[in-house]
Homo-oligomer: A and B are copies of this chain.
Amino acid sequence: MLARRLNSLVESGLLERRRYSDRPARHEYVPTECARDFRPVLWMLIAWGNRHFAPEGPSLLIVDANTGARADPIVVDRATGRPLMSPDFALAAGPAANARQRRLYGAARGSNTNRRRP
C-alpha cells in the first residue's frame, strides 16, 4: 500500500527515490523540485481556506519557523514586487495556447484589447 503510493508519486515526478544504504539495500524518498515548487500553491490555498471557510478559526497557519510569527501570504510579481491583482494583471494567451485560449485571452501583446480578466 505504502510502496504503491510512493511509486505512484515517483512516477508523477513528485518524489525521487535515492539509495542511501547498499547492505542492506535501502532507499529514501525525497521531494523533487517540482513537488517543492508546489508549496506556494498549497500555501495560498490554505490562506484562502482560512479566510473563507474557517469560522471556527484556522487549523493550519503559516508561520516564521524561527519566531513563530504568523505570516500572511500574498502573491507579487518577482521582478517588481507589485501585488498581482486584477485589474493591474490579467491572463493572456501564451505561445502554446490553443484556439480557444487565444479567443478567450487574446495574445500577450502590449495592448489591453481582447483580454479577459480571470
A contacts, CB < 8 Å to B: 13, 34, 36-46, 48, 50-52, 54, 56-68, 70-79, 81, 84, 86-98, 101, 105, 108-112, 115, 117-118
Contact = CB atoms under 8 A, between A and B. Distances in A.
A73 to B, nearest CB: 5
Contacts of A84: 40, 43, 62, 71, 73
A58 B118 contact: no
A101 B58 contact: no
A90 B75 contact: no
A61 B109 contact: no
Contacts of A54: 96
Listed from nearest, the 6 A-B pairs whose CB atoms lie closest are A58-B94, A57-B95, A57-B96, A72-B78, A68-B110, A40-B75
